[in-house]
Amino acid sequence: MWKRIVRWGTCLVGAVVISIIVADLYFFHVAFVPAKKDFLEKPLPLRPGTALYQQRLWYHDVPKQHWTMESATGRYRLGANYIPARHSDKAVLICHGYMQNKNDMGAYAAMFHQMGYNVLVPDARGMGDSQGKYVGFGWPERYDERKWMKRLVHHLGPHVKIVMFGVSMGGATTMMTSGLHLPKQCVAMIEDCGYTSVKAEITHEAKDMYHMPAIPRWPLIPVLSLMTKLRIGYFMGEASSVRMLHHNHRPMLFIHGAKDTFVPTRMVYQNYRADRGPKELWVCPDADHAHSLRTHSREYERHVQQFLNKYVH
């Protein structure tokens, strides 16, 4: 009798463990492996009448220099577009969002270039022209961004003033980079709709997309975090914008859409409170995720320009 109970109990435990591993392998592939994601918004076509058409057309047509660099770990070859500005000692490093690439940031590149900035837009690991097996969600990429900053200093000289800017995953990358020891030429940062941590964002999306109640998230999320440690090199809880902002003393502008449900608007308040430097916050009314520039372009540009005028001289 007891042997039968133990045998059935062992089989049940084994089945549960296998189910958890299979589910987490699926979630890992969905979240961290570069591939087409059906749950993401499709990119805007480049045609007259679409939002930000003129800015995106400018980026499409403007001559660009293609830069390459080894990743900070030396494992991957990374690509970027560089657009010089005449007689300018200012540069912006632009970070794109999840499963995007440098060409999706054309409207932002146009905005900064019009403000007189040399523009560098890299592809994150595993996206665009950059090599990489996994999406790092900004945590391993923060060291790549620091290396791109050093490349800008080498190219433009020691007197260059660098602003780092990012949207969505790029916003989180910006905040995660902010806590590193960076070149002194990095003088300000702007983040748009970045998450508080990889764990918080993945947990939110698991609940939102798969309607996972609180109990099944354990042990799925901890096991998924272990997979990221084994494959990418970090536990999801380590990859924290909030924790890195505690070490930031550069000016930071925080932007977030008031109707963002992909990266919930509440996260920007946590990030803002965590920051230790001079800071400003603009919650864009009626804007969904990463749509603040699209829906309120003039106000967006005004907030960015006023922030830069205050801190980049």
Burial of 230 (0-12, 13-18, 19+ CB in 10 A): exposed
Query: For the stretch 272-302, what's the b/e string if a residue is b when 16 or more beta carbons lie within 10 angstroms of its beta carbon?
Result: bebbeeebbbbbbeebbbbbbbbbbeeebee
Greatest C-alpha distance within the chain: 86
Which regions of 64-127 does DSSP assign to beta strands (E)?
A: 65-70, 77-83, 90-95, 118-122
How many Å is the Cα radius of gyration of the chain?
21
Task: Give the pLDDT score at 219.
Answer: 78
Task: Give the pLDDT score at 39.
Answer: 83
Confidence of residue 215 (pLDDT cuts 50, 70, 90): very low
Task: Give the pLDDT score at 246.
Answer: 98
Q: At residue 243, what is the residue type?
A: R
> Residue 166 in contact with residue 144, Cβ under 8 Å?
no
Compute the average pLDDT of residues 16-39: 79
pLDDT(54) > 90: yes
Pairing of strands 161-167, 186-192: parallel
pLDDT(248) > 70: yes
pLDDT(234) > 50: yes
Q: What pLDDT, in 10s, does the model give residues 98-128? A: 999 999 999 999 999 999 999 999 999 999 9
> Residue 261 in contact with residue 288, Cβ under 8 Å?
yes
Domain ranges (residues) in the chain: 1-30+214-237, 54-197+239-311
Q: What pLDDT, in 10s, does the model give residues 133-165? A: 999 999 999 999 999 999 999 999 999 999 999
d(CA 81, CA 104): 12
Task: Give the pLDDT score at 207.
Answer: 79
Could you tell me the two tokens for 167? 């949207």
Residue 101: alpha-carbon gap to chain centroid: 11
Q: At residue 103, what is the residue type?
A: N
pLDDT(9) > 50: no
pLDDT(80) > 50: yes
pLDDT(15) > 50: no
Q: What stretches of 136-279 show up as alpha helix (H) in DSSP?
A: 141-156, 169-178, 198-210, 217-231, 241-245, 266-274
pLDDT(19) > 60: no
d(CA 301, CA 296): 9
d(CA 145, CA 164): 9
Q: How many residues does the chain have?
A: 313
Secondary structure element (H or E) that encloses residue 280, with its range: strand 279-284
Cis status of the peptide bond prior to 219, with omega within 30 of 0: yes
Q: Of 22, 24, 140, 120, nearest to 72 (Cα)?
A: 140
Confidence of residue 17 (pLDDT cuts 50, 70, 90): low
pLDDT(211) > 90: no
DSSP 8-state secondary structure symbol assigned to residue 268: H
Q: What pLDDT, in 10s, does the model give residues 164-178? A: 999 999 999 999 999
CATH architecture of 54-197+239-311: 3-Layer(aba) Sandwich (3.40)
Q: Residue 86, SS3?
A: coil
pLDDT(21) > 80: no
DSSP 8-state secondary structure symbol assigned to residue 165: E
Average predicted confidence (pLDDT) for the chain: 92
Asked which of 58-72, 184-198, 214-228, 233-247 is least confident by mean pLDDT, the reply is 214-228
pLDDT(37) > 90: no
Task: Give the pLDDT score at 7.
Answer: 59
> Residue 165 in contact with residue 174, Cβ under 8 Å?
yes
Task: Give the pLDDT score at 286.
Answer: 94
Pairing of strands 77-83, 118-122: antiparallel
